[in-house]
Amino acid sequence: MSTVTVTDDSFEKDVLQAQGPVLVDFWAEWCGPCKQIAPALEQISDDLAGQVTIAKLNIEDSPTTPSRYGVRGIPTMMLFKDGQMSSMKVGAMPKQKILEWLSEAGVQQPAA
């Protein structure tokens, strides 16, 4: 399963009403660190398919949702559970750190 593209119009359905946790990556085309973490998020999406949905929201195409959630810098990653934002990280980080964050936030991960 690859990452899911989310927009202001689809955020309610794709994130807030989703079954299971959703990690939303707020990004923009011009953001270097956003491009750095994109491959790691794709891998995590595959590794944790069925455990967590990885969604990407382009802040330039969909500016309403980032402002509603107070996104000030990108990349910003927010974890949503049951329609509520439960955890947030700002800035690029390696795949292992993202996995550790998800684990600390209660996302089940397959045994290595």
**What positions carry a catalytic annotation?**
31, 34
Nearest to 38 by CA among 51, 54, 18, 52: 54
Do 41 and 98 meet the contact criterion of CB atoms below 8 Å apart?
yes
Q: What are the tokens at 55?
A: 């969604």
The number of residues making up the chain comes to 112
DSSP SS3 for 101: helix
Do 44 and 95 meet the contact criterion of CB atoms below 8 Å apart?
yes
Nearest to 29 by CA among 69, 70, 57: 57
